[in-house]
Amino acid sequence: MEINKIAVIGGGIMGRGIALTTARAGISTILFDINDEMLDVSRSYFEKFLSKSVEKGKMSEEEKHLCMERIYYTTDNKELIADLIIEAVPENVELKQKVLGPIEFQNNPDTIIASNTSTIPITRIAAGLKRPERVVGMHFFNPAPLMKLVEVISGESTAPEVAEAVFELAGKLGKVAVKTKDEPGFIVNRVARQFYLESMRIVEEQTASVKSVDRLLKSSGFRMGPFELMDLIGIETNLSVSKSMYEAFFYEDRFRPCRIQQKKVDAGHYGRKSGQGFYSYEK
């Protein structure tokens, strides 16, 4: 099952990161977003990332130019014709199905539909589509061009050869792929919820400060503390994942989101991207 052309839906942080990853691997890539501005942001991101790679001697100017040429930008979803479609839209199952339905219809029956969802069961997403056997999870981690891990998730109806094709593709992209069952949060986000939630509860209970929790966990071997990491990922993104996990596990208390995180989102304090999160950043 050859994958020579990939279409990525969503020009946000994850979508553009995935598009750059596939283009760097020599694959013709379509990047779609409904907003021209997001595509412009993506172009700037690619230029900056690849220029730094040239400066560091990781690639030549010619390789940078070829990589940029492999990416085609569009706001027309009718142009999303590829061997593999990867959606990277917000964590809402109805939205994902609404976006993927017309795209599935206009593509070849052999086209693979992959979701970059971090928490929603693939079986639920596939249930709203006509060919659930062609639907699979391909969960990248932020920043996608740098993080090595990719979770490959098979839904109840996913054909084994589809999952295997995506698993092999991840290797060609320079990633370390792991196959996981179709359970909420899969492996990483299920484990990571407690890393974030228990840290926030410690702060809520005034047992320790944000800085103290980060410092203590880093001294235990973590490269970043939970609050630093939430600021990097985006507090609103992290909260969305927590809410999705809480619902998926039928409101088990261990997955209950924290009020301090909701307050940050309500205030527009999303982390590095907004200049203010659990820490302050110069814009």
Q: Which residues are catalytic?
A: 118, 139, 151, 189
Side chain identity at 128, as an amino acid letter? G
Residue 38 backbone class (left: φ over 0; alpha: ψ -120 to 50; beta: rest) = alpha
